[in-house]
Amino acid sequence: MQLYIDGHTITPQPGQSLLDLIRILELDDALLSKRPIAAKVAGEVFNLNYIPVRVTDADTDRTSIRRAMAASGGKIQLLRFGDPSGRDVYARTAQFILFLAIRQLWPQAKAKMNCTVGPALFIEVDEAEDFYVRSLKDQVKALVAQDIPLLRRRVSTQDAIVQFRAQGQEDKARLLSMREQTYFDEYVYGDFADYYYGELAPSTGYLQVWDILSAPGGFFFVYPDDNEPDRIAAYEDKPKFMSVCTEGSRWCQLMECETVADLNDLVDSGKIRELIRVNEALHEKRFSQAADMVCQRGAKAVMLAGPSSSGKTTSANRLATQLRVHGKKPILMGLDDYYIDRDRIPPGPDGKLDLEHINTIDTALFSEHLGALLAGEMVELPTFDFLTGKRKWLGHQLQLTEETVIIVEGLHALNPILLPEELECDLVFRLFVSPQLPLNLDDHNRIPSSLLRLLRRTVRDYKTRGATVERTMQMWDSVRRGEKRWIFPYQEQADMIFNSSTLYELPVLKKYIFPLLTAVPPEEECYEQVRSLVKILNYVRQADVDDEIPPTSLVREFIGGNSFYR
């Protein structure tokens, strides 16, 4: 059988790995930006140790072509750091090496994934009295220099549970006890074994570009720059964001819900209903605090921003309710109404419209209108017609009174280009809304907040916009790129960061999303992305507790029944 590896043709010999073939074709490279890390075959991501043609019987020279290879017709796409799936492989490889190094240096230490801060991952380290970053960096360098093969083996789930308990990883043992499959794939080195819900690079030597920075209670692992992978990304402290993450972790501890295993116990016992009530009370308290801050400042405008599916619209409405308690008359404004006509937006380098770009907003017009409103003038506001892709003027006029507070909601609402140059700072309050899910699968595997947002968006788009899973997934990489460039850089400038995640929503969302995901066929381009979501949701117990979720809940924005939209 002939293989087509990034357009190069080769006939594999039985037992040769993809890595062997890559080296024969001279496609390997010393630079991370050019080096293949993994491969995509028939919609799935494979380790480069994957063998396309196996020897099944040495005595008779019988061989077999692997299932995925046959399904792909021999087509293989190499993944590098520039590919989102390649970055994920690099990140998982880093995690394995980091936790291995910690285990070797401080066997009794408890290391735990916490959160991602820009281009860095924060990992907590407890019970390591002599822990310091210099030792960890030296150990990681040594492991990378040894270029240790990262081997995967299959064990029974029961054996894996026993093994992890013996290693003191009770969090993993509990999670696996909830696994329905009887086998388990893990990566091993010596007596250390771990699992990261996806493929790793072939060896430790692939971890070429990185840094480790000291931090209170642990350390930051800094990844390569997304745009220039051959150099380490620039890391900047984000104290406001870290404060939100720390608060989320503290609430997980107080609610005894730090991992998916804890959450499943709450589902099984019925105590998830109490978790819903407490979580919703916490959100209400935060919205009340935001309203207090707006009124204490005397702000006349709230600029409310956040990434896709963070719950901005519901947040704007709930803040408006709290402002009414203060005697204010809040008015909601959508930044979307200031979109430029679609036919006036210049296409990107790929010929497509980048709807996440700031140039899709008529920033000059919005700045002019905001300045006039805050000066007490009457302003006619535009309305954007999404069906025609054009702006309309429908005679909607607005003039602020003493009690009026406008709440401007939109992806780019924190971008300073939207504010008039001579604006008095106290007149504007900046609120950044984003779900920072503090829940982990286990200590070594966090659930990315972007994953929660993708689940939310997929459910909402299917229910309210008629969009298929494939359509939503197809757009997601572009959405993420836009967020990194235009939204997240401004979050630290917010006067308040609101964590819009809820600990209970994964079991709730599963009822809506799981049938959609499992219906996606392997030949779809998004299949690997779907598989990664299914892998995580397989561990989550479904909860039929919609009746406990208030009609004003942020979760209702995605599953339906939100009273603000009736």
Cα–Cα distance measured from residue 525 to residue 517, given in angstroms and rounded to the nearest whole number: 13
Structure tokens at 461: 């788009």
In order, the DSSP letters of 288-332 are: HHHHHHHHHHT-SEEEEE--TTS-HHHHHHHHHHHHHHTT-EEEE
**Which are the contacts of 304, defined by CB distance < 8 A and separation ≥ 6?**
312, 315, 316, 319, 407, 408, 409, 410, 413, 431, 432, 433
The answer to whether residues 3 and 55 touch, using CB atoms and an 8 Å cutoff, is: no
Shortest CA distance to 429 belongs to which of 495, 335, 371, 373? 495
**What number of other Cβ atoms are within 10 A of residue 503's Cβ?**
24
Cβ count near 291 (within 10 Å):
24
Task: Report the sign of the C-alpha dihedral through residues 247, 253, 259, 263, in that order.
Answer: negative
Strand bridging mode 440-442 / 8-10: unpaired
pTM: 0.91
Q: Structural domain boundaries of the chain? A: 3-80, 86-239, 240-565
Q: How far, in whole angstroms, is CA 322 from its chain's centroid?
A: 30
> Contact 231/208 with Cβ under 8 angstroms?
no
* Nearest in space to 262 (alpha carbons), one of 447, 120, 26: 447
Lookup result for tokens 């060896």: 203
CA distances from 128 to 99, 105, 107, 344 (A): 13, 9, 9, 59
Written out in words, the top-level CATH class of the domain with range 240-565 is: alpha beta
Alpha carbon distance 332, 497 (integer Å): 19
Q: What pLDDT sits at residue 466?
A: 86
Q: For the chain, 566 residues long, give each residue's pLDDT as a single digit of tens.
A: 789 999 999 999 988 999 999 999 999 999 999 999 999 998 889 999 999 988 775 555 566 777 888 888 899 999 999 999 999 999 999 999 999 999 999 998 999 999 999 999 999 998 777 788 999 999 999 999 999 999 889 999 999 999 999 888 899 999 999 888 888 889 999 989 998 888 999 999 999 999 999 999 999 999 999 999 999 999 999 999 999 999 999 989 888 999 999 999 999 999 999 999 999 999 999 999 999 999 999 999 999 999 999 999 999 999 999 999 999 999 999 999 999 998 888 877 777 777 788 989 999 999 999 999 999 999 999 999 988 999 999 999 999 999 999 999 999 999 999 999 888 889 999 999 999 999 999 999 999 999 999 999 999 999 888 889 999 999 898 899 889 999 999 999 999 999 999 999 999 999 999 999 999 998 888 888 898 899 999 999 999 999 999 999 999 999 999 999 76
pLDDT value, residue 19: 96
Of 334, 554, 511, 446, whose CA–CA distance to 99 is shortest? 446
Give the dihedral of Cα atoms 181, 183, 185, 190; nearest 10 deg: 140
DSSP of 386-441: TTTTEEEEEEEEE---TTEEEEEESTTTT-GGGS-TT--GGGEEEEEEE-----EE
Which tens digit of pLDDT belongs to each residue from 170-195? Answer: 999 999 998 888 888 899 999 899 98
- Hey, what CATH topology would domain 86-239 get? Threonyl-tRNA Synthetase; Chain A, domain 2 (3.30.980)
* CA gap 456, 558 in Å, rounded: 6
Supply the pLDDT for residue 69.
84
Buried b (16+ CB within 10 A) or exposed e, 511-542: ebbbebbeebeeebebbbbbbbbeebbebbbe
- Bridge partners of 116? 121
Residue 404 sits at φ, ψ, to 5 deg, of -75, 135
Q: If you ran DSSP here, which 8-state letter would residue 13 be given? A: P
The radius of gyration of the chain's CA atoms, rounded to the nearest angstrom, is 25
CA–CA distance, 155 with 164 (Å, rounded to integer): 12
The helix (H) or strand (E) run that includes residue 466 is none
Task: Give the pLDDT score at 58.
Answer: 58
d(CA 432, CA 491): 6
- State the pLDDT at residue 356: 82
Rounded to 5 degrees, what are φ and ψ at 122? -95, 125
Residue 533: strand, helix, or coil = helix
- Give the whole-angstrom CA distance, residue 194 versus residue 104: 14
